[in-house]
A and B are shown apart, each in its own frame.
Chain A
Amino acid sequence: MKHEIIISGFGGQGVLSMGKILAYAGLMEGKEVTWMPAYGPEQRGGTANVTVIVSDKPISSPILSSYDTAIVLNQPSLEKFQGKVKPGGDIIFDSFGIAEQPTRSDINTWCINAMETAAELKLMKCFNMFVLGGLLKLHPIVTIENVMKALRKSLPERHWDLLPMNEQAILKGMEIIKKV
């Protein structure tokens, strides 16, 4: 098993931390992982993306030309990475940030209304966990149990009261992802 993922969006959407939690969860399952951010001077509102690879075998390059799955959370990200999804791969977008939908017919297109749902449920802080839930519905790369362990690792203990709402977001994300 090897899954190569790009997650891209605005800074502040939790793109990097979503990738980190996925990578940590991979580690908890004894898999090899790499987490490579496109780091820059950007803060909230800038662009942010991260390449996460989860594999049974040692990983050669943390930087890739093409991906199994692209998660795009704004229009520039969609335009940048749509062409880099492997044929037969998946693109996941949140309709909130997207004016023009993906156009490729040789890949699977999935929509997740994460922003809208997060706002409805007043779980905006967990926006990225809705998206992660959507990804895990398509590709159960890691178990939810290990995602929760990963969250415990990356959240300081004083924020552990937020763990149940994160789990709720992941489960809801699995429900609301739809094929386009």
Chain B
Amino acid sequence: MKGNEAIAHAAIRCGCDGYFGYPITPQSEVLETLAALKPWETTGMVVVQAESEVASINMLYGGGGTGKRVMTSSSSPGVALMQEGIAYMAGAEVPGLIVNVQRGGPGLGTIQPSQSDYNQATRGGGNGDYNVIVLAPNSVQEMADFVDLGFELAFKYRTPAMILSDGVIGQMMERVVLPPQKPRRTDEEILKECPWASNGMGLKQRGSHCITSLELDPAIMEQRNLHLQKKYAEIKQKEVRYETSFMDDAEYAIVAFGSASRIATKAVEMLREKGERVGLFRPITLWPFPEKEIEELATRVKGLLVVEINAGQMVYDVRLAAKGKAIVNHFGRLGGIVPDPDEIVDALMKVKSEAEKA
């Protein structure tokens, strides 16, 4: 099935309580599949086609505030519209899952695949000092697997989580094993997992809860920010995920995430056939970013090539992490054009010739 369809199936199966979304290419199959599967008749999951992306994200804020597992999905221009709501959720510590099946920008851009929302996703995207947890699937299988993982992390840390995918992974079909059906949590379970939630449960014992990102006293607001920063530091320490391949004897490495990592793997296979010792490093969490691992990698190889379907965004994180210990070049295509493996092979050979000159 398609990556977008896998997201919808996985949402139902992981016990999601509600989906709010507005159609946009290339992710419309998420809402279409949910509408076809009618989970409100089986698990009781609510599916709403909202009037806009702004409405969707605020429904997510409301649903998450009650401790429910709620999600939305969109593509780049739609996710841009959601940024205010995501910042509110981060500020008010409301968990929720946002799926971005990216397309080319800026603005309305194109409908073809892109990874040009990397900066927006990994820097928070809205106003204020915050981050969201960003997972980057590179297969239809991971589209399915990361829905439950996204919810787990979002609730563990009371923060929004994002699946940053793109038109390649959303539209392609491949083999997928769907997770078994989990029941939706009962009210008692929600009460236990989310004692902070504002859902009218246990009102007499605990008094009322107020969920807001607003605080007019800057001294209290600073404390609240410090609390967020402490939480983010813990996430950075505990939740970094990455994958490597062909790295054992590698002299050069390609760093790529999501769909670009699939194409880069093919380039690595082609380079290996030519006798080049090239490996692949794939960040799975884009925030938290695998900084230490990239630094260690930079001490082992002569050069790194960062392949992204954008003008060069993750390359800055790689350069910061590499601390000048290896050459770090970038290769990308823009505006909805996806690089092919040949182009990546050529770009890697350029890194090699630069490293040899230096």
Flag if B173 contacts A20 (CB, 8 Å): yes
B32: interface (CB < 8 Å): no
- Residues of B near A27 (CB, < 8 A) are 175
Proximity string of chain A (84-124) to chain B, C-beta cutoff 8 Å, 1 when within and 0 when not: 00000000000000000000000000000000000000000
List A159-174 residues whose CB lies under 8 Å from chain B.
none
Which of chain B's residues have a CB closer than 8 A to the CB of A34? Answer: 172-174
Choose among B111, B174, B263, B338 the residue that contacts A33 (Cβ–Cβ < 8 A).
B174
Q: CB distance B171 to A61 under 8 Å?
A: no
Q: Say which residue of B26, B172, B267, B268 sits within 8 Å of A62 (CB atoms).
A: B172
| A59 engages B174 (CB within 8 Å) | yes
Check: B39 CB closer than 8 A to any chain A CB: no
Interface membership of chain A positions 36-51, coded 1 if the CB is closer than 8 angstroms to chain B and 0 otherwise:
1101110000000000
Contact B340 A64 (CB under 8 A): yes
Q: In the complex, which residue of chain B has the Cβ closest to the Cβ of A36?
A: B172
In the bound assembly, the distance between CA atoms of A27 and B1 in angstroms comes to 11
The reply to whether the CB of A32 lies closer than 8 angstroms to some CB of chain B is: yes
Chain A contacts for B175, CB-based, 8 A: 27, 32-33
How long is the Cα–Cα vector from A64 to B345 in the complex, in angstroms?
12
Q: Decide: A63 and B171 in contact? CB cutoff 8 A.
A: no
The answer, among B112, B264, B266, B269, for a CB contact under 8 Å with A40, is B112
Q: Is the interface of A mostly helix, strand, loop or mixed?
A: loop
How far apart are A27's CB and chain B's nearest CB, in angstroms? 6
Distance in angstroms between the alpha carbons of A39 and B25 in the assembled complex: 10
List chain B residues, Cβ under 8 A from A35: 172-174
- Residue B278 CB within 8 A of the other chain: no
By beta carbon, the residue of chain A nearest B173 is: A35
List A42-78 residues whose CB lies under 8 Å from chain B.
59-66
Tell me whether B96 is interfacial, beta carbon within 8 Å: no
Residues from chain A with Cβ under 8 Å of B277 in the complex: none
Nearest CB of chain A from residue B258's CB, rounded to whole Å: 12
Separation in Å of the A80 CB from the closest CB of chain B?
A: 13
Q: Roughly how many angstroms separate A66 CA and B173 CA in the complex, as a whole number?
A: 20
User: A32 to B177, alpha carbons, bound, how many Å?
Assistant: 13
In the complex, whether A18 has a CB less than 8 A from a CB of chain B is: no
Number of interface residues of A (CB under 8 A): 20
Q: Does B341 contact A (CB under 8 A)?
A: yes
- Whether B262 contacts A61 by the Cβ 8 Å rule is yes
Question: What residues of chain A lie closer than 8 Å to B263, measured between beta carbons?
Answer: 60-61, 63
Interface bracket on B = 20 to 34
B173 partner residues in chain A, CB cutoff 8 A: 20, 23, 33-36
Instruction: Give B167-186 as 1s and 0s: 1 = Cβ < 8 Å from A's Cβ atoms.
Output: 11001111100000000000
User: Is B72 on the interface with A (CB-CB < 8 A)?
Assistant: no
Complex Cα spacing A114 to B266, Å:
34
- CA–CA, A59 and B138, complex, Å: 12
B239 within 8 A of A: no
Q: Which residues of A contact B167 (CB under 8 A)?
A: 39
Whether B172 pairs with A61 at a CB distance below 8 angstroms is: no
A65 / chain B contacts, CB cutoff of 8 Å: 340-343
B338 near A39 (CB under 8 angstroms)? no
Residue of B nearest to A60 (CB): B265
A-chain residues with CB within 8 Å of residue B343 when the two chains form the complex: 65
Q: With a CB–CB cut-off of 8 A, which chain A residues contact B112?
A: 39-40
CB-based contact A39/B341 at 8 Å: no
Give every chain A residue within 8 A of B171 (Cβ-Cβ). Answer: 36-37, 39
A52, chain B: closest CB distance, angstroms: 9
Query: Which residue of B has the minimal Cβ distance to A51?
Result: B172
Pairwise interchain contact A36-B168, C-beta atoms closer than 8 A: yes
Q: Assess whether A40 is in contact with B111, with CB atoms less than 8 Å apart.
A: yes
Residues of A within 8 A of B268 (CB): 60
For A62, what are the chain B residues with a Cβ–Cβ distance below 8 Å? 168, 172, 174, 262
Interface residues of B (CB under 8 A from A): 25-26, 111-112, 167-168, 171-175, 259, 262-269, 338, 340-343
20 more A-B residue pairs beyond the given contacts A60-B262, A63-B262, with a C-beta to C-beta distance below 8 A: A23-B173, A32-B174, A33-B173, A35-B173, A35-B174, A37-B172, A39-B112, A39-B171, A40-B111, A41-B111, A60-B266, A60-B268, A61-B262, A61-B266, A61-B267, A61-B341, A62-B262, A63-B338, A63-B341, A65-B343
Give the 10 A-B CB pairs with smallest separation, nearest first.
A61-B266, A60-B265, A35-B173, A65-B342, A65-B340, A60-B266, A61-B263, A36-B172, A34-B174, A61-B262
